Amino acid sequence: MKVVLSTPPGKTTELWPPLGLLYIASSMRQRRGDDVQVIDAFCENLTGQELIERVVEADPNVFGMNCSTHTFLSTIETMKGLKERMPDAKLVLGGYHATFAYEKILREYPFIDFILCGEGEHSFPQLLERIEDDTRPSDVDGIAFEEDGEIISRPFKLIEDLDSLPFPARELTDRVEYGYSHQNIKLTFGKFTTICTSRGCPYRCTYCSCAELSLRRWRARSAENIVEEMESLYNQGYECCVVVDDNFTQNRRRVEEICGQIRKRKIDMQFYCEGRVDVSSYEMLRQMKDAGFNVIYYGVESASQNVLDYYKKNITPEKSRTAIDNARKAGMLVVTSYIVGAPIESREDIKRTIDFIRDSRPHAIQVNILDCLIGTPIWDQLEHDGLVGPEDWKINHRIFEYMGKHFSEDELTKFKKLAYGAHIDGWKNINLLTELLRLFMSNESARKIIFGNILNPNIRSKISEEQPVPDGREFLRDAGVGQKEYE
C-alpha cells in the first residue's frame, strides 16, 4: 500500500525530526514492505493548503498524522480538506491528544476514519492489513473507530521489547535541515538529529500526560542497541544528537554502560539530554561528560516544597541544587526549567524560586506558565470541579484562564521576567568568570553556541528582555512579601 505520514502544518524554529513517525515508517517497511513517504510539514513550515497539495500529489491509500493539543485544530482542518480531495483514502489520526480524546474526536469529526492510541509501530501495520483486506480492525490494539453511531475501541498495549524495533527511517526526511534553537538562538551546529533510548515514565507529575500514556512504566533499550544506532549516526556524519527520553538517567548502571560503549567505539558526537535531579551523582555526570554529553536539562519547576508536592515531583529543592552543582562541576552546560502559576502557589513560593535561580546559577533557564492539557491530572481535576467548558479540550489552555483570581496573566508574565532577570543577576559576579572560562575551554557545545551566536542580534534583544523590571522587588513586596525576606 502507499502510505503518507505527516506532522501537522505550522511554523517553528525548533527543527526536530518526527522520530515517532520515522519509527512507524521503518516498522511498516520491515513488516509489510509498504511504500511510505513522510512529510515534516511542521519543520518545513508548510501551510495547511500546501500540505494538502503535497499529499494529494502523492495520492496515498492511507494518510496518517500525529497531533498535540497545540496543533489539534490545524490538524483537523487539514484532515477535512484531504477527505474532500481524496474521499477514498483512509485517514488515521494519532498522538497524545488523539489518544486522550479519541471518543470526542470520532463523534465530532466523522471524516476521521481511525484513531491510533498509544504507540504505533505494531498497531499501524496491523491496521493496514485490515484496510487491505477490507475487514474491521476491532481486534487491533489501540485502534478506535466509529461504526453505526457506536465507538469501537481496543485498549492500547505498550511495546515491551524496544530493541526489536528497527531504527527510525531518518532518510525519509533528509530534505529538512534539522537543528535545535530556542527563541531564535541557535543551540546546535552541524548535522543534527534526535534519538530515543527509553520510553515511558514511572512518576506522576500532575502537569504531564507522559505517565498516563505510558501506563506509568519505564522501558529501556539495551546499551548495545542504543550505541549501535549512535555509531550508525556517527558514520553518517551526524555531529549532534538530543536524547528525547523523559527519563534518560533513570537507571545509573545503564547510563554508565552506554557511556562506556560510546568511549570504546570512539563515537565523537555531542549529546544533549534530560535528567532527574534525584539521579545526578557527580560520578555518573562525569562519565556522561567524558562520553560527549555536554548539555543536560533538569525540570526543577519550583524551589518551594509545597509546590513540588502539588506537582508530585518527588524531589526537593536541595536535590535540585545538588544536581545543578554536580553537573556544573562535571563540566556540563546546565539548563533548568521552572513553572509558575500552580493553584496553590503563593508569592512567597515564587520568590523562593526566583532566589533559587539567582543563587544556583544554571547556565540557562526556561520559565513557563502552567499549562492545562487534556490527559494530565491537573486537567482531570479542573474537569471534575466543573471548570472546563465543553469545547476546551480542543485547544491549549493556561492556568489563569481557570484560576484568574489567583494570579492574572499579567502577574504571571511579570513573575517570568523577574525570574529571567534573577538568572542574569546570578552571573554578574566577576568571581564567576573563572567558571565560565573553564566551561568554555572544556565543553565543545558551549564553545559552538557562543561562537555560533556571537553576531546573533537575538542574543542582545533576549538579554535586554530578561533584565528585571525596576520595581520587581516592590511588586513582590506589595503583593505580600515583606522587606526582611529580601535582606
Cβ atoms of 228 and 194 within 8 Å: the answer is no
Task: Give the angle subtended at the CA of 203 by the CAs of 248 and 252, to the nearest 5°.
Answer: 35
In 48-174, the DSSP E strands lie at 62-66, 90-94, 114-116, 143-147, 150-153
Residue 102 has a pLDDT of 98
The per-residue pLDDT for range 122-145, each reduced to its tens digit, is 999 999 999 999 999 999 999 999
- Please say if the pLDDT value at position 189 is more than 90: no
The per-residue pLDDT for range 394-405, each reduced to its tens digit, is 999 999 899 867
The per-residue pLDDT for range 360-412, each reduced to its tens digit, is 999 999 999 999 999 999 999 999 999 999 999 999 999 989 986 789 999 99
- How many residues does this entry show for the chain? 487
| Exposure string for 264-302, b = 16+ CB within 10 A, e = fewer | eeebebbbbbbbbbebbeeebbbbbbebbbbbbbbbbbb
The per-residue pLDDT for range 258-291, each reduced to its tens digit, is 999 999 999 999 999 999 999 999 999 999 999 9
| C-alpha cell, 220 | 529501556
- Please say if the pLDDT value at position 458 is more than 60: no
Domains of the chain and CATH, by start: 2-153 (3.40.50.280), 179-486 (3.80.30.20)
* CA nearest to 239, candidates 188, 274, 291: 188
**What average pLDDT does the segment 23-50 reach?**
97
Cβ atoms of 146 and 107 within 8 Å: the answer is yes
Between 157 and 460, the more confident residue is 157
Task: Give the pTM.
Answer: 0.90
Residue 10: band (very low, low, confident or very high) from pLDDT cuts 50, 70, 90: confident
* CA nearest to 171, candidates 92, 75, 268, 237: 237
Q: Give the number of other Cβ atoms within 10 Å of residue 191's Cβ.
A: 16
- Please say if the pLDDT value at position 443 is more than 60: yes
Cα separation, 156 vs 115, whole angstroms:
11
- Please say if the pLDDT value at position 156 is more than 90: yes
Strand 270-275 relative to strand 293-301, pairing:
parallel
Residue 483 has a pLDDT of 32
The per-residue pLDDT for range 38-51, each reduced to its tens digit, is 999 999 999 999 99
Residue 306 has a pLDDT of 97
Residue 470 has a pLDDT of 38
Q: What is the mean pLDDT of the chain?
A: 90
Helix, strand, coil percentages, rounded to 5, for the chain: 45, 15, 40
**What average pLDDT does the segment 59-84 reach?**
97
Residue 468 has a pLDDT of 44
- Please say if the pLDDT value at position 331 is more than 70: yes
Cβ atoms of 423 and 357 within 8 Å: the answer is yes
Evaluate the CA torsion angle 259, 262, 263, 267 in order and state its sign: negative
Cα separation, 243 vs 64, whole angstroms:
25
Residue 484: band (very low, low, confident or very high) from pLDDT cuts 50, 70, 90: very low
- Which residue has cell 528525547? 244
Report which DSSP code applies to 112: -
* CA nearest to 465, candidates 421, 428, 423, 405: 421
